[in-house]
Amino acid sequence: MLPEITPILEEPALIVRNTETSLVVADIHLGIEWDLYRSGINLPSQMKGRLDRLLGYIQANSPDKVILLGDVKHNVPKVSWQEKDEIPRFLETLAEHTHVDIIPGNHDGGIELLFNRHKDIRVHSARGAVIDGTGYFHGHTWPASEILAVSHAVTAHNHPTVRFTDSFGYSVVEPAWIRTKFNMEVLKIHFGNLDFENPAQWADPELFVMPAFNELCGGVPFNESTQEELLGPAFSSGGIKLEASEVYLLDGTRLGLLRNIRKLKHTRVRNKNQNRRCRNSKGST
């Protein structure tokens, strides 16, 4: 039985159905307000609103589990007082409604110390895991080899967006879903012991890249970025077919193939110095 993967309309969240129903969100970045405060931007905590959104998804879809696809917390390498206060309440409240699986991201070091381990919460390997027939990895590492042996995989980490700029210089940025495939020839270099002729080891999975759940995180405009500028080894090495990606807005609008979106007059390819500044402003996200 193949998984059925359906985005929740107008929301950065997936429903994945196979033998169970899973709700998937990525890049929640709890505690980002504390980091912004240190930079001179004073915002109240948004934790309750984010938790209420997730509980609304749970109420509407009755999932058997919630999969948090990395970067549940924000601050690295330290843990802020805000995260020590909010992450236990956030995770343990979710666990009162359904099982919680965490695929750790690069911001999630030590997250297993921030909640009651007797709760229904499981932290997986940072390289990802196969859960009910679908592979999940955050994207800051190469995926575990078993993820390449299933039909569908989901990743995050880059906070994908599209940005269009008019002739007056006004830009509109929208979060986006990216749907693509792995580049087998590049993966062969890294996964040297994998038999790519064996369907039990290589299933040529369809790959979904999730937008960030936290809108304060910003994003990477895929239509303006080269593979070298994207985060994570699978992207920066060319291990993902970037130009052949299909791009969708959260409302379900299909924008088309990334290679064609790049040719539009409203796509402005930035110079290298601009790209570098944008990446630096994103920090270690």
Rounded-to-integer distance, Cα 273 and Cα 161, Å? 20
Q: Say whether pLDDT at 71 is over 50.
A: yes
Between CA 208 and CA 94 the distance in angstroms is 24
13-27, 38-52, 240-254: least confident range: 38-52
Residue 260 has pLDDT above 80, yes or no: yes
Residues ≥6 apart with Cβ < 8 Å to 60: none
Backbone angles phi, psi at 243, to 5 degrees: -65, -25
Q: What is the mean pLDDT of residues 80-109?
A: 94
What is the per-residue pLDDT across 47-67, written as a single tens digit (0 to 9) for each? Answer: 999 999 999 999 999 999 999
In the predicted model, is pLDDT for residue 124 greater than 80?
Answer: yes
Q: Which residues contact 254 (CB under 8 A, 6 or more apart)?
A: 246, 247, 248
Residue 233's pLDDT band (cuts 50, 70, 90): very high
- Cβ–Cβ under 8 Å, residues 256 and 243: no
Contact predicate 60/18, CB 8 Å: no
The pLDDT-based confidence of 281 (bands split at 50, 70, 90) is very low
Domains recognised in the chain with CATH numbers: 4-262 (3.60.21)
pLDDT recorded at residue 228: 86
Higher pLDDT, residue 38 or 201: 201
**What share of the chain has pLDDT > 90, as a percent?**
75
The band of 271, judged by pLDDT with boundaries at 50, 70 and 90, is low
The predicted model gives 20-24 an average pLDDT of 98
Q: Is 62 left (phi over 0), alpha (psi -120 to 50) or beta?
A: left
Closest listed residue to residue 163, CA positions, set 88, 224, 109, 244: 224
Give the pLDDT mean for 249-259. 96
Q: What's the pLDDT score for residue 279?
A: 38
- Check residue 7 and give its pLDDT: 97
What's the pTM value of the predicted model, to 2 decimals?
0.91
Q: Indicate if the pLDDT at residue 276 is higher than 80.
A: no
pLDDT at 285 over 70: no
Share the mean pLDDT of the chain: 91
- Average of pLDDT values for 197-215? 96
Q: Is the pLDDT of residue 110 over 80?
A: yes
Q: Are 22 and 16 in contact (CB under 8 A)?
A: yes
Q: Residue 94's pLDDT band (boundaries 50, 70, 90)?
A: very high
Closest CA to 184 of 166, 201, 171: 201
User: Tokens 């409302």 — which residue?
Assistant: 251
Q: How many angstroms separate the CA atoms of 203 and 151, rounded?
A: 6
Question: Do 138 and 103 form a contact (C-beta atoms < 8 A)?
Answer: yes
* Number of alpha helices (DSSP H) and beta strands (DSSP E) in the chain: 7, 15
In 137-285, at which residue ranges do the beta strands (DSSP E only) sit?
A: 152-155, 160-165, 171-181, 206-209, 220-221, 246-249, 254-257
DSSP annotation string for 9-36: TTSS-EEEESSSEEEEE----BTHHHHH
Quick one: pLDDT at residue 77? 81
pLDDT at residue 75 above 90? no
Residue 98's pLDDT band (cuts 50, 70, 90): very high
